[in-house]
Amino acid sequence: MISVTEALEHLFALARPLGVETVPLLQAHGRVLAKDVAATRNQPPFNSSAMDGYAVTEVAPGLRLRVIGESAAGHGFYQTVKTGEAVRIFTGAPVPDGAKAVVIQEDVTRDGDWITIGDNPEDNDHIRRAGGDFRIGDTVSAGRVIGPNDIALLASMNIADVPVTRRPIVALISTGDELVMPGETPGPDQIIASNTLGLHALMRDLGAEPRLLPIARDNEASLRTAFDLAKGADLIVTIGGASVGDHDVVANLAPQLGFDQSFYKVAMRPGKPLMAGRFGEAMMIGLPGNPVSAMVCGHVFVAPVVRAMLRLPAQAAPRRSGVLAEALPANGPREHYMRARVTDGGLIAFGSQDSSLLSILGQADALIVRSPKDGPRSAGDHVEYLPLR
């Protein structure tokens, strides 16, 4: 068995960053920016007013000025303002040539075409300088997930098409004669397939393109068919069959079908029977069949691999530090990911950590990470955890 850290190192070595495609700006949300993009214009493109008021050449208490025109957003005033003159101006409008400041309308009294500046005008010119936000050539750096704020910024830079990393195609294959899909009627010795559906949702959240393939039964022909259907995928994820029992078809048959194994078994719980390698042009990860094990391994291993394929930093799932609200007994020889709740008083691990209990995983919003042979922990101790929500 290898450690979780060693397993991640092997996985990152197997993962291949994907190519670049260009998408319209409106389709770029949630994608990973693959190349730096540069502004094609200055923002603002001209000196603009930050307030409603009057553009003037000078500001002094009691100064009387003649209003010679108006500058509004989209409708500027393109004459030069001279001494003794003012231009009515609105927020976002171009500041006319010659004007040195904008006096806010609250500091002005108007009488027909004349204004008088009050006794205590604000000591602020209220002008947003051209290029004060960004200038032509300023860049947005690659390697970020594009969010709503980024979309707004790119739009203001006049970038209509965005270079993004291609979405990884992830083929999800459940294995086992005991499985049926949700909505079907299971036999007396069958259960509902749940792992691939949970992983499908996780992959979509990560920005991948998951493909849910038919269940592979416990025979060579069915597994061959499943792998044939997975052709073209960047990542193949099998669930179940990763142990070495007589019915564990993935472990027994995958090497015969072209699977080049990198490692097998990780010193963790839940999730020990994990394997990975390459299957032709695709990377392949074999997850254990227990529902909680599969989902935990999805968060710990598959998610970082997908991020690496998307050209995000190749690093472990981000952890946080928290305080235990209740004591924990000593840990065993494997790294343990304990389902837990985050409360106002701190982290509380669930009493049962059986790897078949999806109901507990559904209530959990954290995985407390216990290092191998970690000693007993008291309430108030600081521990690391993986957030699940």
On whether the CB atoms of residues 361 and 343 are closer than 8 A, the answer is: no
pLDDT score recorded for residue 29: 97
Average pLDDT value for residue range 70-84: 97
pLDDT beyond 80 at 173:
yes
Which band of pLDDT confidence, cut at 50, 70 and 90, is reported for residue 244? Answer: low
pLDDT at 246 over 60: no
The torsion of the CA quartet 29, 32, 38, 41, rounded to 10 degrees, works out to 0
Report d(CA 259, CA 238) in Å as an integer: 12
Two tokens, residue 357: 């209990």
Q: How confident is the model at residue 254 (pLDDT cuts 50, 70, 90)?
A: confident
pLDDT tens track for 129-140:
999 999 999 999
Structure confidence at residue 219 (pLDDT): 86
**Whole-angstrom distance, CA of residue 291 vs CA of residue 359:** 10
Question: Residue 226 above 80 pLDDT?
Answer: yes
H helices of the chain, in order, are: 4-14, 148-156, 195-206, 220-229, 249-253, 291-297, 303-309, 358-363
pLDDT surpasses 50 at 247: no
> C-alpha angle 258/264/268, rounded to 5°?
150
Q: Tell me the helices (H) and strands (E) count for the chain, helix number first.
A: 8, 26
Peptide bond connecting 270 to the previous residue in cis, omega within 30 degrees of 0: yes
Question: For the chain, how far is it from start to end, CA to CA, in angstroms?
Answer: 30
Q: Across residues 20-30, what is the average pLDDT?
A: 98
pLDDT per position as a tens digit, 33-49: 999 999 999 999 999 99
pLDDT computed for residue 256 by the predictor = 79
The helix/strand/coil state of 203 is helix
Looking at this protein, which amino acid is placed at residue 206? Answer: L
Q: Is residue 365 classed exposed, middle or buried when 0-12, 13-18 and 19+ CB atoms within 10 A define those classes?
A: middle
Going by pLDDT thresholds of 50, 70 and 90, the confidence category of residue 242 is low
**218 compared with 336, residue with greater pLDDT:** 336
Report whether 124 contacts 35 (CB < 8 A). Answer: no
In the predicted structure, residue 251 carries a pLDDT above the cut 80: no
157, burial (CB in 10 Å: exposed 0-12, middle 13-18, buried 19+): buried
Task: Provide the pLDDT for residue 356.
Answer: 87
d(CA 382, CA 361): 22
pLDDT band at 377 (very low <50, low <70, confident <90, very high): very high
Q: How far is Cα 59 from Cα 177, in angstroms, rounded to an integer?
A: 84
**Chain centre to alpha carbon of residue 108:** 49
Average pLDDT over residues 220-248: 82
Average pLDDT, integer, range 260-275: 93
CA-to-CA distance for 264 and 66, rounded, in angstroms?
84
pLDDT (average), residues 177-181: 90
Cβ atoms of 192 and 179 within 8 Å: the answer is yes
Residue 60, Cβ density class (10 Å: 0-12 exposed, 13-18 middle, ≥19 buried): exposed
Task: Indicate the average pLDDT of the chain.
Answer: 94
Q: How would residue 253 be classed by pLDDT, with cut points 50, 70 and 90?
A: confident
Token pair, residue 116, equals: 């008088």
Contacts of 356 (CB under 8 A, 6+ apart): 290, 291, 292
Cβ atoms of 93 and 72 within 8 Å: the answer is yes
Q: What angle do CA 226, 295, 244 make, to 5 degrees?
A: 55
Model pTM? 0.88
Helix, strand or coil for residue 79?
A: coil
Per-residue pLDDT, averaged over 285-300, amounts to 94
Quick: pLDDT tens for 302-344.
999 999 999 999 999 999 999 999 999 999 999 999 999 999 9
Per-residue pLDDT band at 249 (split at 50, 70, 90):
low
If we measure between CA atoms, which residue out of 256, 226, 235, 383 comes closest to residue 304?
235
